[in-house]
Structure 1
Amino acid sequence: MVVWLLISRLSVATPPDEGMWLPIFIQALNYDDMRAKGLKLTAEQIYSANQSSLKDAVVLFGGGCTGEIISEEGLLLTNHHCGYAQIQSHSSVEKDYLRNGFWAKNKDEELPNDGLKVTFIVRIEDVTQQVLSGVTPEMTENQRQAEIERKIKEISKGIEKDSHYEAVIKPFYYGSEYYLFVTETFKDVRLVGTPPDGIGKFGGDTDNWMWPRHTGDFSLFRVYANKDNKPAAYSKENVPYKPKHFFPISLKGIKEGDFTMILGFPGRTQEYLTSYAVELLVEKTNPYRIALREKRLEIINSAMQASDEIRIKYAAEQASIANAYKKWIGENRGLKKMDALQRKRDLEGQFVNWCAQDETRKQRYAQVLPDLAKHYQTLEKVNLAELYINEAVFGADILYLAYQFTAFVDKFSDKELDKIKRRVEGHFKNYDANIDRQLLAVCLQAYYNDIPQALHPAVYAKIQNEFQGDFARYAQYIFDNSLLASKEKASAVLANFTALDLEKIINDPAVELFRQFLEKYLRQVEPIFDQTMAEIDPLMRQYVAGLREMQTDRKFYPDANSTMRLTYGTVAGYNPEPNQRYEYFTTLDQIIEKGKQANQVADYFVPEKLQQLYDARDFGRYADGGTVRTCFIASNHTTGGNSGSPVLNAEGHLVGINFDRNWEGTMSDVMYDPTQVRNITADIRYILFIIDKYAEAGYLINEMKIIE
């Protein structure tokens, strides 16, 4: 949280445009400010439990993104990168939808996606009183949590009884408040269209997290329901979903200073972290995971450049690794530039002084910060080993498969056998043993170099003694001898499998390697990490409660936790450096200009047809100033999970789709700077231009409600 120190008083104001607000509190907390910035809707038109509102056109897409309904036939818009796994799953060398795009010419050609779900919010309720009704001050934290979980189950059961709705109850402010989200989830979601990577991923890793940006980061899906408009598993009998609301699309464009707002499902922020947590993040956590991901990316990128088959297989995995890698670099840079550590310390100094002025406050809060400092010292000892389970141990896919085989052995049954067979199929679909062998060597060496020797499994002595410390040789040994190194070997051992074959898996070198890491983790890392976090969480609940008590004139908002939030701001450029200015929009002209560098920068490849449309100036009604505007920025406070979110104007019309943040603003998960934080939006006019002119899919435009 940005802390503007005020000389005359202890309280601070929330900076303009900061905040991820619960929609049920718009009227009480945000409405006057939103109206002053230009909003022309009522609070009820944005969120209502009783009538159609904007929230009814917004979905949680696939568990980690946002999407929006843009027609009365369930047409759904989200980011290209949100639908990337589905696009990849339908792609092959013969049908290369990543490189060439895909457009269903009619509903029969739309492609089903096994496992893809979208979730609507039916209503939101404050259930804090019910959830905490049985909690007493005398309870231990474990007792408190058990009572809360009992109440949550009780409330959820009442909601879900005789209903297809689900009840999701989540904690806010570290468990000071609880909110119920009644949801409706649809499981038949089909791919309708996607531009090629040269549009949907234009700029690639080179421009990721950067502004200026020129990415047509969108894809189209359709939600299907049964004949009663209710959720149903995939069936040819299903029909397009009829939404309670869908977004009209504005071709009027935007200008600097215009009001914008976003509804979506931001994943995770940590705005109330203490200085101890920020120091650990900036000095230890981020630098180490950045360095390891860089090594992993070097291996994957090199292989992808050499082979189309590898490029398709590893497209989604590479994008995922690179995305967080670049974000963490920007986050560290931004937090240091803002002097975040000192700002946090200043706020904590104010908190200590405030506590000292009143005996009741002193008793309630004085020990909170010293206790947190002590626990973060403990956490630092195991923090990196905890991180490296994901970053290093699971950095090689063979060890993730070994983890799944370990679970299979531990729970052996016919049902588990069927499950592991399916997992083997999925694992090897997008897999290359040569890449994974190199990743295993790099990840094992990183763990060896970066983690204290006391936390090393015994295998490291074997690598030193039998392989002379050569991690590449040891990785080759694993791949030469493991049943998990190829689909053929893994499938063969599972064919006609009986309990007598369990020994083969238990003795497999990859499984044995994973078990060594697992045992070391379970004995020496997880107990300390979990116990320390269990001590930190209630202290953070106390600390944030104290901040809310201290800063009475500040509007607080809860950290993001993948629940629906509203954020709003204004269209605005910014100065990344004192003598440098970035304008608020980009154009197709700039795409063509970047395309001239495609021989040197592959991420700037421009599809031939897009070049032809530009040369002919065939922009149709999507033109603005003799070109097509591609993207724009505004000061909306967003994070991961907001990808695919609708960007709306003052009338609630769709003007774009959120897909990224600027690099200078990636620290906003921890601390918001209104002068630097900008969300990046694909202009809806560029999206429609691609659908209409590039894909020649005017029939999709005809479904939409266009505001000229």
Structure 2
Amino acid sequence: MKKGLIISLLALSALTSRADEGMWMLTDLKAQNAAAMMELGLEIPIEQVYNADGISLKDAVVHFGGGCTGEIISAEGLVLTNHHCGYGSIQQHSSVEHDYLTNGFWAMNRDEELPCKGLTVTFIDRILDVTDYVNEQLKKDDDPEGINYLSPKYLAKVADRFAKAENIEMTPATKLELKAFYGGNRYYLFVKTVYSDIRMVGAPPSSIGKFGADTDNWMWPRHTGDFSLFRIYADKNGKPAEYSTDNVPLKVKKHLKISLAGIEENDFTFIMGFPGRNWRYMISDEVKERMETTNFMRHHVRGARQEVLMAEMQKSPAVRIHYASKYASSANYWKNAIGMNEGLVRLKVLDTKQKQQEQLLARGREKGNDAYQKAFDEIRSIVAHRRDAMYHQQAINEALVTALDFMKIPSTGELKKALASRDKEKIKAAIAKLKEEGEKYFASVPFPEVEKAVGKAMLKTYSGYIPQEQQIGIFKVIDSRFKGNSDAFVDACFEYSIFGSKENFDRFIKKPTLNKLDKDWMVLFKYSVTDGLLQTALAMKEANKNYDAAHKVWVKGMMEMRQDAGTPIYPDANSTLRLTYGKVLPYEPADGVVYNHYTTLKGAMEKEDPNNWEFVVPAKLKQLYEAKDFGPYAMKNGEMPVCFIVNTDNTGGNSGSPAFNGKGELIGTGFDRNYEGLTGDIAFRPSSQRAAVVDIRYTLFIIDKYAGASHIIKELDIVK
């Protein structure tokens, strides 16, 4: 499809598109969305939202840690994001003595702000439509396999060429990201600047930041203060730099104004962020495949792992702190998978997809064009052929890779080669390297008894879903050497492997032998897992070899058909900066049930259960509630707002996204979706899909009245 045709389709679709569906490219806002946004309630020029040649709201929205969104809320680089986005960093600084997960953390001055190793914040400097340039390069370059148009490796080379041709200034902190959109029919280049000296400024206790935990996750109504604060530091010239005590807070070019005016039902709002992935152009066979492979394994395997982890975490504060972030990450998409499958069935999405498919196929037949039928048949065939490999791959990944930290043992390949060569210098170097990596490994798995318990559960879970004849090779060893007793095999791993304990490792390092490596249980286990992943990947690669070309044709047809029907046309999410807009609205999850568009602190008090860690309310928060000491952050009726919902089109990656009112002022921080809307990654249902947002007034109330961190409030640009 030609670039001009896509632009015209996008412009036409904007005339009739629903405001609540669509993850829109910022570069297209002026042409296709500005009029609709103004009609709904946008009060500022669209150039103040996004301006390719000047400063706009876009410049205050950042990619936080690579998987979340954040917003700049002060002139000195203060970043607001979700508590669950900052969770890993909060955990990083927590210990039994300083349990910031449980008690919260507030830096009362700049010297107390804590550096977060490995955390980055990324600004999007420029967004360039480079479709014509990429298409020119595709014609020039050899492409024997016909995959360049979607290859990240190839597109990275093209990005470098473009930057040189256009004299784009490159620094060590500059990153180029060239991505394909619409199945490879359009290309955008993102020029980014990455900051790596990020420091933790504030986080409420988990009893506020994770109030409701797994029970309330993906649900509405919500009563969580899901936020945390970080600060970007730079060198004295304002340039990105590694951590140094000489670094200073970044003087940003744009920060957001914060509104205390609050929200009302039907208020216009828009959200900017980095939605991760969605799959709106799937055929029904792909939806069914997703339900029966990825979602199935996430549901059942993670559920089994989490049951073991939770039991262990409740026994020991140290264990709880160590595994808190891992557990939260696992549980998040465990519940997502359950809710998505339930919703796909309840909303009969497969039926809807089949009707859409038949419409496009009929359209092709009417026009005498069999391209859509061929693409459809090809995708169906691919899905059928890769199904078993995908199912097995998901089982390996969920049960034996993601779940087992002890499978992250260092590679012994270099030492093995050195020992075989009998070269003393090579052996000495390989031992030194393995010793260094071993120290890091043992620091990462300080609770072997927990790893052992999880390992036993996961091997049973894996073997329960994969037929014996298809299981990875290590299970033949378990059958022959351990009489099928996988528990005994896990015990042997920790008792005899060189990575089973620090003592075993130290003994081996003193006298390493090839024989020991060749017979080491953990090493053999890891090799077997790696081989299993390789075999399933090869099987899927063979099945998938024609998928991209067929998908490109199918997406082209769906776009044309949607344009004719007056429905929106926009690219699937791919972790690039997008905007979505809509209104603050309630919804009806079931007959006779209406969910209001906002919640208050009263709801948290009603949910309180001091015997359930998920619903503990801090004593000080109760005191503030009982005294109605809400300061300037209360609603007009005197109640303390907590969260609200909007009918915008969000997905994973939008966590931490700023929610704006019509004036472009910050009114909240997006943190979740509702359970009934989890099908939105595949099929958007405007009547039931909502994004949950922490009301900025609750965030300020917690910072000011609960934490007593009034110095942070003074740093902000607050308007009434």
TM-score range relative to shorter protein: over 0.9
Write the letter of the residue equivalent to 1:397: L
> 2:417, 2:235 → 1: CA distance?
37
Tell me if 1:141 matches 2:154: no
Q: CA deviation at 1:214?
A: 0.5
Partner residue of 1:183 out of 179, 186, 192? 192
CA contact (8 A) 1:110 1:190 kept: yes
Q: Deviations 1:414-465 (Å, cap 9, x if unpaired)?
A: 5995587357426634642122112212222222221244432332233234
Q: Residue 367 of structure 1 aligns with which residue?
A: 374
Bigger mean CA offset, 472-481 vs 73-82: 472-481
Name 2:640's counterpart in structure 1: 628
TM-score, length-normalised on structure 1? 0.93
Tell me the equivalent position of 2:422. none
Deviation at 1:409, TM superposition (A): 5.1
| Contact map agreement 1:193 1:221 (CA 8 A) in 2 | yes
Partner of 1:49: 52
- The equivalences for 1:413-428 within 5 A come to 414=429, 418=433, 421-422=436-437, 424-425=439-440, 428=443
Match of 2:97 in 1: 94
**1:165 match:** 174
- Structure 1: how far apart are the matches of 2:706 and 2:149? 58
SS in structure 2 of the partner of residue 386 of structure 1: helix
| Residues 692 and 521 of structure 1: CA distance in aligned 2, closer, same or farther (over 3 Å) | closer
1:307 to 304, 316, 329: 316
Aligned counterpart, 1:75: 78
For the residue of structure 2 that corresponds to 1:658, the secondary structure is strand
Amino acid at match of 1:230: K
Q: Measure how far apart 1:661 and its partner are.
A: 0.6
Alignment of 1:161-310 (within 5 A): 162-163=170-171, 164-310=173-319
CA distance in 1, matches of 2:129, 2:19: 26
1:417 and 1:670, CA in 2 relative to 1: closer, same or farther beyond 3 A?
farther
Question: What CA distance in whole angstroms lies between the structure 2 residues aligned with 1:486 and 1:20?
Answer: 49
| Residues in 1 aligned to 2:439 and 2:682: alpha-carbon distance in whole angstroms | 39
Which residue identity lines up with residue 609 of structure 1 in the other structure? K
- Corresponding position of 2:411: 405
Q: Partner amino acid for 1:571?
A: V
When residues 237 and 491 of structure 1 are mapped into structure 2, their CA distance, relative to the original with a 3 A threshold, is farther
SS for the counterpart of 2:545 is helix
> Equivalent of 2:497, from 460, 482, 495?
482
- Aligned-residue Cα RMSD (Å) equals 2.4
Q: CA deviation at 1:53?
A: 0.3
Question: 1:409 touches 1:506 (CA, 8 Å); kept in 2?
Answer: no
Cross-structure match for 1:390:
397
Q: Which amino acid aligns with 1:401?
A: K
Which residue is 2:627 aligned to?
616
1:579 Cα deviation from its structure 2 partner: 1.2
SS at the partner of 1:120?
Answer: strand
Q: What amino acid is aligned across from residue 399 of structure 2 in structure 1? A: A
- The CA deviation at 1:366 is 2.8
- Evaluate the alpha carbon distance shift between residue 573 and residue 423 of structure 1 in structure 2; reply closer, same or farther with a 3 A threshold: farther
Q: Which residue of 2 aligns with 1:131?
A: 134
Match of 2:159 in 1: 152
Gap change, CA 1:420 and 1:46, over 3 Å in 2: farther
Q: 1:516 to 1:419 in 2, by over 3 A?
A: closer
Aligned equivalents of 1:648, 1:423: Cα separation in 2? 48
Matched with 1:585 is 598
Aligned length: 690
Go from structure 1 to structure 2 and tell me whether the alpha carbon gap of 1:675 and 1:405 turns closer, same or farther (over 3 Å shift).
Answer: same
CA distance in 2 between counterparts of 1:339 and 1:378 reads 25
The structural deviation recorded for 1:148 is: 5.1
- Supply the distance in 2 between the matched residues of 1:287 and 1:140 (Cα, whole angstroms): 33
Which moves more between the two structures, 528-537 or 427-436? 427-436
- Superposition TM-score, scaled by structure 2 size: 0.91
Kindly provide the CA deviation profile for residues 226-256 of structure 1, in whole angstroms up to 9, marking residues without a partner as x.
Answer: 1221111111111111111101110000011
Alignment partner of 1:641: what SS? Answer: coil
Matched-pair contact (CA < 8 Å) for 1:214–1:588: yes
1:49–1:122 Cα contact (<8 Å) kept: no
1:279 alignment partner, SS class = helix
Rounded Cα–Cα distance in structure 1 between residues aligned with 2:339 and 2:461 = 22
SS of alignment partner, residue 301 of structure 2 = helix
> 2:542, 2:234 → 1: CA distance?
45
1:101, CA displacement in angstroms? Answer: 0.8
Question: What is aligned with 1:441?
Answer: 456
Question: Secondary structure, in 3 states, of the residue corresponding to 1:220?
Answer: strand
1:139 shift after superposition: 6.1
- Range with greater deviation from structure 2 (284-293 or 385-394): 284-293
Q: How far 1:400 moved relative to its partner?
A: 2.8
Q: CA deviation at 1:630?
A: 0.4
In structure 2, relative to structure 1, the CA distance for the partners of 1:112 and 1:493 (3 Å cut) is farther
Tell me the equivalent position of 2:583.
570
Q: 1:136 to 1:59 in 2, by over 3 A?
A: same
- In the alignment, the residues of structure 1 paired with residue 271 and residue 486 of structure 2 have an alpha-carbon distance, to the nearest angstrom, of 48
Contact map agreement 1:206 1:603 (CA 8 A) in 2: yes
8 A Cα contact 2:238 2:250, kept in partner: yes
Give the distance between the partners of 2:413 and 2:21, measured in 1 at CA: 44
Structure 1 pair 51–616 and aligned structure 2 pair: CA distance change class (3 A): same
Q: Deviations over 1:539-584 (max 9, x none)?
A: 1111001212333343311111111000111001111101111101
Alpha-carbon distance in 2 for matches of 1:143, 1:223 = 37
Percent of aligned pairs with the same residue?
A: 41
Pair 167,411 (structure 1): closer, same or farther in 2 beyond 3 Å = farther
**Aligned letter for 2:461?**
A
Aligned AA for 1:470? N
**Structure 1 counterpart of 2:613:** 602
Are the counterparts in 1 of residues 18 and 568 from structure 2 also a CA contact under 8 Å?
no
Letter in 2 for 1:576: P
In the alignment, structure 1 residue 59 sits paired with structure 2 residue 62: yes
Greater shift in the superposed pair: 277-286 or 664-673: 277-286
Q: CA deviation at 1:220?
A: 0.6
Structure 2 regions of 5+ residues with no counterpart? 1-12, 419-425
Cα deviations by residue, 1:371-419 (Å, 9 ceiling, x for unpaired): 11111000112111111232011144355323x4256658988599558
Question: What's 1:6 paired with?
Answer: none
Residues 420/540 of structure 1: CA separation in 2 closer, same or farther (3 Å cut): farther
Structure 1 residues 411 and 618 mapped into 2: Cα distance closer, same or farther (>3 Å)? Answer: farther
- Retained in 1: the 8 A contact 2:647–2:691? yes
Q: How far apart, CA to CA, are the structure 2 residues paired with 1:416 and 1:167?
A: 38
Residue-by-residue CA offset, 1:8-34 (whole Å, 9 max, x unaligned): xx9997544111111111111211111
Q: 1:429 to 1:525 in 2, by over 3 A?
A: closer
Matched letter for residue 392 of structure 2: A
**Is this contact kept in 1: 2:160–2:176, CA < 8 A?**
no
Kindly report which structure 2 residues correspond to 1:686-701, keeping only aligned pairs within 5 A, or say none. 686-701=698-713
Letter in 1 for 2:87: Y
Q: Mind listing any 5+ residue stretches in structure 1 that lack a counterpart? A: 1-9
Mapping of residues 490-509 of structure 1, within 5 Å:
490=505, 493=508, 504-509=516-521
Aligned partners of 2:287 and 2:62: how far apart in 1?
32
Question: What secondary structure, in the 3-state scheme, does the structure 1 residue paired with 2:620 have?
Answer: helix
Determine the structure 2 residue equivalent to 1:7. none
Query: CA, structure 1 residues 343+419, in 2 after alignment: closer, same or farther (shift >3 Å)?
Result: farther
Q: Which residue of 1 aligns with 2:9?
A: none
Q: Tell me the secondary structure at the aligned position of residue 33 of structure 2.
A: helix
- The question of 1:513 aligning with 2:525 is answered yes
Q: Which residue in the other structure is 1:381 paired with?
A: 388
Residue 189 of structure 2 aligns to a residue whose secondary structure is strand
1:147-202 deviation digits (Å, cap 9, x = unpaired): 65643342245566554532110111222211000111111110011111111111
